[in-house]
Protein backbone atom coordinates (compact mmCIF):
# COMPACT_ATOMS: atom_id res chain seq x y z
CA UNK A 1 0.00 0.00 0.00
CA UNK A 2 1.35 3.40 -1.00
CA UNK A 3 -0.24 6.76 -0.23
CA UNK A 4 1.40 9.37 -2.45
CA UNK A 5 1.30 13.15 -2.24
CA UNK A 6 2.48 14.68 -5.48
CA UNK A 7 3.15 18.45 -5.68
CA UNK A 8 0.16 19.23 -3.47
CA UNK A 9 -0.76 22.83 -2.64
CA UNK A 10 -3.62 24.55 -0.88
CA UNK A 11 -4.37 28.23 -1.37
CA UNK A 12 -7.38 29.79 0.33
CA UNK A 13 -9.59 32.54 -1.07
CA UNK A 14 -7.93 34.98 1.32
CA UNK A 15 -4.73 34.45 -0.66
CA UNK A 16 -2.99 32.50 2.09
CA UNK A 17 -1.05 29.51 0.76
CA UNK A 18 -1.18 27.03 3.64
CA UNK A 19 0.57 24.16 1.81
CA UNK A 20 3.12 24.79 -0.93
CA UNK A 21 3.88 22.16 -3.56
CA UNK A 22 4.78 19.29 -1.20
CA UNK A 23 5.53 15.72 -2.28
CA UNK A 24 6.17 12.49 -0.39
CA UNK A 25 5.25 8.82 -0.30
CA UNK A 26 3.86 6.87 2.66
CA UNK A 27 4.04 3.10 2.93
CA UNK A 28 3.42 0.90 5.98
CA UNK A 29 4.85 2.44 9.15
CA UNK A 30 4.64 5.43 11.47
CA UNK A 31 5.31 8.92 10.14
CA UNK A 32 5.74 11.98 12.32
CA UNK A 33 4.70 15.29 10.78
CA UNK A 34 6.41 17.82 13.00
CA UNK A 35 5.98 21.56 12.91
CA UNK A 36 4.77 24.59 14.89
CA UNK A 37 1.17 25.76 14.92
CA UNK A 38 0.42 27.35 11.55
CA UNK A 39 2.94 25.26 9.63
CA UNK A 40 0.20 23.68 7.45
CA UNK A 41 -0.03 20.29 9.18
CA UNK A 42 -3.79 20.32 9.76
CA UNK A 43 -4.47 21.56 6.22
CA UNK A 44 -2.43 18.68 4.84
CA UNK A 45 -4.24 16.17 7.09
CA UNK A 46 -7.58 17.51 5.89
CA UNK A 47 -6.53 17.06 2.28
CA UNK A 48 -5.39 13.47 2.91
CA UNK A 49 -8.78 12.72 4.48
CA UNK A 50 -10.66 14.53 1.67
CA UNK A 51 -12.27 17.00 4.06
CA UNK A 52 -10.86 19.69 1.79
CA UNK A 53 -9.54 19.50 -1.76
CA UNK A 54 -6.09 20.61 -2.91
CA UNK A 55 -5.82 23.59 -5.22
CA UNK A 56 -2.89 21.89 -6.93
CA UNK A 57 -1.30 18.48 -7.22
CA UNK A 58 -2.70 15.03 -6.52
CA UNK A 59 -3.07 12.59 -3.63
CA UNK A 60 -3.29 8.95 -4.69
CA UNK A 61 -3.50 5.50 -3.16
CA UNK A 62 -1.72 2.74 -5.08
CA UNK A 63 -1.77 4.88 -8.20
CA UNK A 64 -5.45 5.95 -8.07
CA UNK A 65 -6.44 9.49 -7.11
CA UNK A 66 -8.25 9.28 -3.76
CA UNK A 67 -11.24 11.31 -4.94
CA UNK A 68 -12.03 8.54 -7.43
CA UNK A 69 -11.96 5.83 -4.76
CA UNK A 70 -14.97 7.20 -2.87
CA UNK A 71 -16.33 4.93 -0.12
CA UNK A 72 -13.52 2.43 -0.65
CA UNK A 73 -10.97 5.02 0.46
CA UNK A 74 -13.10 6.25 3.36
CA UNK A 75 -13.40 2.67 4.56
CA UNK A 76 -9.62 2.50 4.93
CA UNK A 77 -9.38 5.71 6.95
CA UNK A 78 -9.36 6.42 10.65
CA UNK A 79 -9.15 10.14 11.45
CA UNK A 80 -8.68 11.95 14.73
CA UNK A 81 -9.16 15.70 14.17
CA UNK A 82 -7.44 18.35 16.23
CA UNK A 83 -10.65 20.05 17.35
CA UNK A 84 -12.84 18.38 19.97
CA UNK A 85 -16.13 18.58 18.08
CA UNK A 86 -18.23 16.00 19.87
CA UNK A 87 -21.87 15.22 20.60
CA UNK A 88 -21.62 16.24 24.23
CA UNK A 89 -25.09 14.98 25.16
CA UNK A 90 -24.11 11.48 24.03
CA UNK A 91 -22.48 9.06 26.41
CA UNK A 92 -19.05 7.83 25.32
CA UNK A 93 -20.60 4.43 24.55
CA UNK A 94 -23.40 5.87 22.43
CA UNK A 95 -20.98 8.10 20.52
CA UNK A 96 -18.78 5.15 19.59
CA UNK A 97 -21.79 3.05 18.54
CA UNK A 98 -22.87 5.95 16.32
CA UNK A 99 -19.42 6.18 14.75
CA UNK A 100 -19.34 2.41 14.25
CA UNK A 101 -22.66 2.60 12.38
CA UNK A 102 -21.30 5.37 10.15
CA UNK A 103 -18.40 3.06 9.30
CA UNK A 104 -20.86 0.35 8.27
CA UNK A 105 -20.29 -2.15 11.09
CA UNK A 106 -23.14 -4.54 11.92
CA UNK A 107 -24.41 -4.84 15.51
CA UNK A 108 -22.22 -7.80 16.47
CA UNK A 109 -19.00 -6.32 15.09
CA UNK A 110 -19.85 -2.87 16.48
CA UNK A 111 -20.22 -4.29 19.98
CA UNK A 112 -16.83 -5.96 19.93
CA UNK A 113 -15.16 -2.93 18.35
CA UNK A 114 -16.60 -0.48 20.88
CA UNK A 115 -15.37 -2.68 23.72
CA UNK A 116 -11.94 -3.03 22.07
CA UNK A 117 -11.32 0.68 21.51
CA UNK A 118 -12.64 1.69 24.93
CA UNK A 119 -10.14 -0.73 26.44
CA UNK A 120 -7.30 0.73 24.36
CA UNK A 121 -7.98 4.29 25.52
CA UNK A 122 -8.81 3.34 29.11
CA UNK A 123 -12.42 4.59 29.18
CA UNK A 124 -14.41 1.43 29.85
CA UNK A 125 -15.39 2.61 33.32
CA UNK A 126 -16.51 5.99 31.92
CA UNK A 127 -18.43 4.67 28.92
CA UNK A 128 -21.92 5.46 30.26
CA UNK A 129 -21.14 9.03 31.31
CA UNK A 130 -22.09 11.94 29.06
CA UNK A 131 -19.23 13.39 27.05
CA UNK A 132 -19.99 16.86 28.43
CA UNK A 133 -18.77 15.59 31.82
CA UNK A 134 -15.45 14.37 30.40
CA UNK A 135 -12.19 16.18 31.07
CA UNK A 136 -10.18 17.52 28.15
CA UNK A 137 -7.93 14.46 28.19
CA UNK A 138 -10.92 12.09 28.22
CA UNK A 139 -12.46 13.89 25.24
CA UNK A 140 -9.15 13.48 23.44
CA UNK A 141 -9.18 9.76 24.20
CA UNK A 142 -12.74 9.26 22.96
CA UNK A 143 -11.73 10.99 19.71
CA UNK A 144 -8.84 8.57 19.39
CA UNK A 145 -11.16 5.64 20.12
CA UNK A 146 -13.50 6.52 17.25
CA UNK A 147 -10.54 6.78 14.88
CA UNK A 148 -9.49 3.23 15.80
CA UNK A 149 -12.89 1.65 15.11
CA UNK A 150 -12.69 -0.93 12.34
CA UNK A 151 -8.89 -1.21 12.50
CA UNK A 152 -8.27 1.26 9.65
CA UNK A 153 -5.35 0.71 7.30
CA UNK A 154 -4.62 4.46 7.15
CA UNK A 155 -4.68 6.24 10.50
CA UNK A 156 -4.45 10.05 10.54
CA UNK A 157 -3.94 11.66 13.96
CA UNK A 158 -3.86 15.46 14.30
CA UNK A 159 -2.27 16.55 17.61
CA UNK A 160 -3.40 13.32 19.32
CA UNK A 161 -1.76 13.94 22.71
CA UNK A 162 -3.21 17.40 23.37
CA UNK A 163 -4.62 17.36 26.90
CA UNK A 164 -3.17 13.96 27.81
CA UNK A 165 -1.08 13.48 30.93
CA UNK A 166 2.45 11.97 30.61
CA UNK A 167 1.27 8.44 31.41
CA UNK A 168 -1.46 8.61 28.75
CA UNK A 169 1.02 9.98 26.21
CA UNK A 170 3.33 7.01 26.75
CA UNK A 171 0.43 4.56 26.55
CA UNK A 172 -0.73 6.09 23.27
CA UNK A 173 2.76 6.03 21.74
CA UNK A 174 3.25 2.40 22.72
CA UNK A 175 -0.11 1.39 21.27
CA UNK A 176 0.52 3.12 17.97
CA UNK A 177 3.88 1.38 17.70
CA UNK A 178 2.24 -1.98 18.46
CA UNK A 179 -0.45 -1.64 15.75
CA UNK A 180 1.72 -0.07 13.05
CA UNK A 181 2.43 -3.30 11.15
CA UNK A 182 0.41 -3.29 7.93
CA UNK A 183 -0.81 0.28 8.46
CA UNK A 184 0.10 3.81 7.44
CA UNK A 185 0.01 5.97 10.57
CA UNK A 186 0.58 9.73 10.20
CA UNK A 187 0.88 11.76 13.41
CA UNK A 188 0.80 15.54 13.07
CA UNK A 189 2.18 17.29 16.15
CA UNK A 190 4.34 20.11 17.47
CA UNK A 191 5.47 17.95 20.42
CA UNK A 192 8.75 16.25 19.51
CA UNK A 193 8.47 13.48 22.11
CA UNK A 194 5.20 12.28 20.56
CA UNK A 195 6.98 10.92 17.51
CA UNK A 196 10.73 10.78 18.23
CA UNK A 197 10.91 7.14 19.33
CA UNK A 198 8.16 5.49 17.23
CA UNK A 199 8.46 7.12 13.80
CA UNK A 200 9.99 5.31 10.86
CA UNK A 201 10.32 8.72 9.21
CA UNK A 202 9.97 12.28 10.42
CA UNK A 203 8.82 15.14 8.19
CA UNK A 204 9.54 18.63 9.50
CA UNK A 205 7.19 21.26 8.13
CA UNK A 206 7.59 25.04 8.15
CA UNK A 207 5.40 27.67 6.44
CA UNK A 208 3.60 25.11 4.30
CA UNK A 209 6.73 23.34 3.07
CA UNK A 210 8.65 20.18 3.94
CA UNK A 211 12.11 21.22 5.06
CA UNK A 212 13.33 17.78 6.18
CA UNK A 213 12.18 14.19 5.58
CA UNK A 214 14.22 11.23 6.82
CA UNK A 215 14.38 8.49 9.47
CA UNK A 216 15.26 10.01 12.88
CA UNK A 217 18.76 8.50 12.89
CA UNK A 218 19.63 10.17 9.59
CA UNK A 219 18.17 13.49 10.69
CA UNK A 220 20.34 13.42 13.82
CA UNK A 221 23.51 12.99 11.77
CA UNK A 222 23.00 16.59 10.69
CA UNK A 223 23.45 17.64 14.33
CA UNK A 224 26.78 15.93 14.91
CA UNK A 225 29.21 18.27 16.74
CA UNK A 226 26.46 20.90 17.16
CA UNK A 227 25.01 20.17 20.61
CA UNK A 228 26.77 21.15 23.84
CA UNK A 229 26.21 21.26 27.56
CA UNK A 230 27.84 24.29 29.14
CA UNK A 231 28.21 24.98 32.85
CA UNK A 232 28.39 28.74 33.39
CA UNK A 233 28.23 31.37 36.08
CA UNK A 234 25.62 34.14 36.00
CA UNK A 235 27.80 36.51 33.96
CA UNK A 236 28.60 33.85 31.33
CA UNK A 237 24.92 32.89 31.15
CA UNK A 238 24.05 36.51 30.41
CA UNK A 239 26.57 36.57 27.54
CA UNK A 240 24.96 33.54 25.90
CA UNK A 241 21.50 35.05 26.28
CA UNK A 242 22.56 38.42 24.86
CA UNK A 243 24.34 36.74 21.92
CA UNK A 244 21.07 34.93 21.02
CA UNK A 245 22.43 31.41 21.25
CA UNK A 246 19.83 28.67 20.82
CA UNK A 247 19.45 27.52 24.41
CA UNK A 248 17.40 24.30 24.50
CA UNK A 249 17.40 24.00 28.30
CA UNK A 250 18.85 25.74 31.33
CA UNK A 251 19.08 24.16 34.78
CA UNK A 252 20.39 25.72 37.98
CA UNK A 253 22.67 23.31 39.89
CA UNK A 254 25.08 23.59 42.81
CA UNK A 255 27.90 24.06 40.26
CA UNK A 256 26.15 26.87 38.37
CA UNK A 257 23.79 27.02 35.40
CA UNK A 258 23.93 24.01 33.07
CA UNK A 259 22.71 25.01 29.62
CA UNK A 260 22.07 22.84 26.58
CA UNK A 261 23.09 24.84 23.52
CA UNK A 262 22.70 24.17 19.80
CA UNK A 263 25.41 25.91 17.79
CA UNK A 264 27.36 25.47 14.55
CA UNK A 265 30.52 26.34 16.45
CA UNK A 266 31.59 25.29 19.96
CA UNK A 267 30.55 27.87 22.57
CA UNK A 268 33.32 30.03 23.98
CA UNK A 269 32.50 30.45 27.68
CA UNK A 270 32.27 28.11 30.67
CA UNK A 271 32.87 24.39 31.07
CA UNK A 272 31.93 22.97 27.64
CA UNK A 273 31.04 19.36 26.78
CA UNK A 274 29.78 18.03 23.46
CA UNK A 275 26.71 15.78 23.97
CA UNK A 276 24.66 13.45 21.72
CA UNK A 277 21.87 15.25 19.86
CA UNK A 278 18.15 14.51 20.06
CA UNK A 279 15.36 15.35 17.64
CA UNK A 280 14.31 18.37 19.67
CA UNK A 281 17.77 19.86 19.12
CA UNK A 282 17.30 19.63 15.34
CA UNK A 283 13.77 21.00 15.56
CA UNK A 284 14.97 24.09 17.42
CA UNK A 285 18.06 24.41 15.24
CA UNK A 286 15.87 24.74 12.16
CA UNK A 287 13.66 27.46 13.64
Q: Are strands 77-80 and 154-158 parallel, antiparallel or unpaired?
A: parallel
- Judge whether 268 and 232 are in contact, CB under 8 Å: no
* Burial call 241-260: b when 16+ CB within 10 Å, e when fewer: eeeebbbbeeeeeeebbbbb
CATH code at 3-221? 3.40.50.300
pLDDT confidence of residue 196:
83
Q: What are phi and psi of 208, to 5 degrees?
A: 80, 5
- Judge whether 223 and 199 are in contact, CB under 8 Å: no
pLDDT confidence of residue 84:
64
How much is the pTM? 0.86
pLDDT confidence of residue 58:
96
Interatomic CA distance for residues 83 and 57, integer angstroms: 26
Mean pLDDT in order along the chain per 10 residues (287 residues):
95 92 94 90 93 94 93 91 79 94 90 93 93 88 91 91 80 82 90 84 94 92 93 88 87 87 90 92 88
Amino acid sequence: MELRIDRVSKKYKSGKEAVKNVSCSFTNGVYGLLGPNGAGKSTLMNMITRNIKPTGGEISLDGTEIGGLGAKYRGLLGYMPQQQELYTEFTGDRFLWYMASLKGLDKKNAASEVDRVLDIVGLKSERHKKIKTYSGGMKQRILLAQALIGEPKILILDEPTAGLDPKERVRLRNHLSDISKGKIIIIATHVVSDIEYISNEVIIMRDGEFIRKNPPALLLKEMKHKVFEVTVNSEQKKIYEEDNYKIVASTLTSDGNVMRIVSDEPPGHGDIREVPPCLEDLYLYLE
